[in-house]
Amino acid sequence: MKKTMGAVLLAAALLIAGCWGGDAGKTNLKHDSTAEKGLEILGANVQFDPNVLMNNGEPIEVEFWVWDAEEIFRGIADSFSEIYPNVSIKVVSQPWQDYWTKLPLALQNGTGPAMFCIHNSQHENLVNYLQPYDIALEDLKADFSGVEGHVIDGQVYYIDYGMMSGSIFYNKDMWAAAGLNDSDIPKTWDEFASVAQKLTRYDDDGRLIQAGFNYNKDVKSMIIGLNYQKGQMMFDEDLQTLAMDNSITAENFQFLIDLYEEQGVGSKDFGISDGESFGQGQSAMVYKWGWYYNQMLSNYPDVQFGVFAVPTPSRDVPVAYDRYNGESTLGISGTADEASQEVAQAFVRYFMSNDEAMKELCLRYSIFPAKKTLVNDEDVKAHPVMKALAPNVERLVWPGPFPGVIETQMQQIFEDVVFNEMSVEETLEKGNALIVEDMQGSDFVTTERQYKYAKEMNTTR
């Protein structure tokens, strides 16, 4: 009896599962027969002309992969579909870590999306599967700055829509509770350390309950900037070999460790993720890149926070303030079918010529727009992170799209030092050698020596 029941249940489950598997959500797409929509042409130089047919007006569905900002991209996709009722764009969001495992493989085998977000740290895994933009180089150069760095054999596969960098985020309530005001915003790292001490709280048992500064999980993005401040280049003169195994990197590592262990402004065991701990109101300051601003707004709307520029070794203007990175526009699959590529090309044009969309994205990630029409935009200028960064923009260094392995390895080196109690110098040497080994066969060439003030920096190890 029981067995029969089991079998029936199983069969029912299978049936349900079957039904579930079956109803693929096909939207009922219309056939588009009017090419002349009487719509305006968008853009100054990079132009988007809506008055054509996509895929000859036949219904078509394409995929668009993103790892974040799904609603912004969906908005752009929806307004694109409004122009072309026969086109449906499916926005698929995958978390960062899985995104880079799946996307290259999916592109390689032709099952990937027609268009997708790119991060330049993954350049080498993707570049073989990209289709160049069919936008004239002159047009791109007329509308965007920094296009030159992306030209490969006279074509571009993606460019930057802006630059992102780091700043210090602080909790305003904690700031006030510690008796601090705006004039206490630290300019140097020494001032920073003493402010951090004031923001640190212990309970009666001597247990840390509020960290003045927390950098757990994100040392990787901080250390390179600290090196630049002291004029230390990342790469050797051959522009390809990583050279992080030097005394300045060791010094900076030690500086970070001392903040915790000597000054007691935080702990490696308190708030294991800096970004979360700040959001939970348990850490008073964190060093974060532009993307974090919106993350805070949407995940922790109750926290009152402010932003200030990274402190420097002394009150003098440093050789550089920090590193920046170019944030990439969309990629077009070179392995998708022609019809999908046609849609993707049009979509990229739409995106690139659409100031509103571009601006929304820049504000979302606190990015200085590369698009010339947006440089002096009031909203961009008023953004708190931009305000903090603006005075230093001239002195930010771009090392180029270095492979992601460098950041992963830097974090591992840091963990080896603080958690596994290994010596800084030895770990750096080993870690550097590992990265160099991993990057063998890579075509990466750094652009850090094109920095305007490169002459002021150490040019040797």
Partner 1 sequence: MKKQKLVSFLIHLCLIFMVMMTIAPFVWMLLSSFKTNAEINAIHPTLWPQNFTFDNYLKVQTQFHFMRYFANSLFVTVLITVLVGYTSTLGGFVLEKGRFRGRKLVFGLVLGTMMIPWFVTIIPKYSLMLKIGWIDMYSALVIPAAVSGFGIFMMKQSLTSLPDAMLQAARIDGASEWYVLHRIVFPMSRNAIASIVIFQFLWSWEDYLWPFLVMNSEGKQVLAVGLRLFNGRYSTDYGGLFAATAISIIPVVLIYIIFQKQFIDGLSSSSVKG
Partner 2 sequence: MKQKSFPLRRFFTPTGVCLFLLILHYTLFLVLPMLIAFVGSFHDWNPLRGTFSFTGFSHYQRLLTNELFWSSLRNTLVFSFVVIAARMILGLVIASALFSGLTRAKNFFRAAFYMPVVTPLVAVSFVWLWLYNPQFGLVNQILGTQINWLYSKSLALPAVMTMTAWKDYGYAVVLYLAGLYTLPKDCYEAARMDGASSWVQFKKITLPLLKPMSLFIFITSLIAYLQAYIQILVMTNGGPGTSTYLSSYLIYDEAFMKYKFGYASAISFAMFLLIGLLTLLSFRVNQRGENA
Residues at the contact surface with partner 1, assessed by CB under 8 A: 2-3, 6, 10, 13-14, 16-18, 20-21, 24-25, 92-98, 101-102, 105-106, 108-109, 111-112, 209, 275-276, 279-280, 282, 295, 299-300
User: Which candidate, 328, 460, 329, 326, places its Cα nearest to that of 396?
Assistant: 326
Q: What's the closest the beta carbon of residue 275 comes to partner 1, in angstroms?
A: 8
By CB under 8 A, what part of segment 136-195 binds partner 2? Answer: none
Give the binding range for partner 2 (CB under 8 A) out of 152-160, 186-194, 240-248, 267-275: 267-275
- Contacts of 265 by beta carbon, 8 Å cutoff, 6+ apart: 193, 196, 197, 199, 200, 211, 212, 213, 259
243 binds partner 2 (CB under 8 A): no
Question: Could you say which of 269, 337, 394, 426 contacts partner 2 (CB under 8 A)?
Answer: 269
Q: Hey, what are 398's tokens? A: 């771009």
Comparison of 259 and 385: residue with beta carbon closer to partner 2: 259
441 binds partner 2 (CB under 8 A): yes
Binding string to partner 2 for residues 401 to 420, with x set by CB under 8 A, is what? ----x------xx-xx-xxx
Q: What's the closest the beta carbon of residue 72 comes to partner 2, in angstroms?
A: 28
Q: What's the closest the beta carbon of residue 303 comes to partner 2, in angstroms?
A: 17
**Residue carrying structure tokens 């200085």:** 368
Comparison of 118 and 343: residue with beta carbon closer to partner 2: 118
Question: Could you say which of 438, 447, 449, 461 contacts partner 2 (CB under 8 A)?
Answer: 438
Q: From the centroid of its chain, how far is CA 94? A: 14
Comparison of 90 and 387: residue with beta carbon closer to partner 1: 90
Q: What's the closest the beta carbon of residue 262 comes to partner 1, in angstroms?
A: 24
Query: Which is it for strands 60-66 and 87-93: parallel, antiparallel or unpaired?
Result: parallel
Q: What's the closest the beta carbon of residue 109 comes to partner 2, in angstroms?
A: 9
299 binds, among partner 1, partner 2, none (CB under 5 to 8 A by kind): partner 1
- The count of residues interacting with partner 2 (CB under 8 A) is 30
Comparison of 122 and 232: residue with beta carbon closer to partner 2: 122
C-beta of residue 257 within 8 angstroms of C-beta of residue 417: yes
Q: What's the closest the beta carbon of residue 418 comes to partner 1, in angstroms?
A: 22
Per the DSSP assignment, residues forming a β-bridge with 332 are 115
User: Which candidate, 194, 192, 246, places its Cα nearest to that of 223?
Assistant: 246
DSSP secondary structure letter of residue 68: S
Q: What's the closest the beta carbon of residue 255 comes to partner 1, in angstroms?
A: 28
- Cα distances (angstroms) measured from residue 245 to each of 231, 401, 428, 459: 15, 20, 5, 14
- Cα distances (angstroms) measured from residue 390 to each of 162, 163, 288, 367: 13, 12, 16, 11
247 binds partner 2 (CB under 8 A): no
Question: Could you say which of 34, 101, 304, 458 contacts partner 2 (CB under 8 A)?
Answer: 101
φ and ψ at residue 230, rounded to 5 degrees: -95, 15
Question: Could you say which of 59, 85, 104, 306 contacts partner 2 (CB under 8 A)?
Answer: 104
Report the first-to-last Cα separation within the chain, whole angstroms: 79
Q: What's the closest the beta carbon of residue 312 comes to partner 1, in angstroms?
A: 31
Comparison of 60 and 439: residue with beta carbon closer to partner 2: 439
Concatenated DSSP letters for 222-267? HHHHHHHHTTB-SB-TTSSSB---SHHHHHHHHHHHHHHHTS-S--
275 binds partner 2 (CB under 8 A): no
384 binds partner 2 (CB under 8 A): no
Per the DSSP assignment, residues forming a β-bridge with 287 are 168
22 binds, among partner 2, partner 1, none (CB under 5 to 8 A by kind): none
Q: For the beta carbon of residue 12, count every other beta carbon within 10 angstroms.
A: 10
Query: Which is it for strands 87-93 and 208-210: parallel, antiparallel or unpaired?
Result: unpaired
128 binds, among partner 2, partner 1, none (CB under 5 to 8 A by kind): partner 2
Q: What's the closest the beta carbon of residue 282 comes to partner 2, in angstroms?
A: 8
94 binds, among partner 2, partner 1, none (CB under 5 to 8 A by kind): partner 1
251 binds, among partner 1, partner 2, none (CB under 5 to 8 A by kind): none
Q: Hey, what are 234's tokens? A: 């990342």
Exposed / middle / buried, residue 326 (Cβ in 10 Å: 0-12, 13-18, 19+):
buried
34 binds, among partner 2, partner 1, none (CB under 5 to 8 A by kind): none
Tell me how far apart the alpha carbons of residues 274 and 320 are, in angstroms, rounded to a whole number: 25
C-beta of residue 178 within 8 angstroms of C-beta of residue 285: no
Contact residues toward partner 2 (CB under 8 A) are: 100-101, 104-105, 108, 124-126, 128-129, 207, 268-272, 282, 405, 412-413, 415-416, 418-422, 430, 438, 441
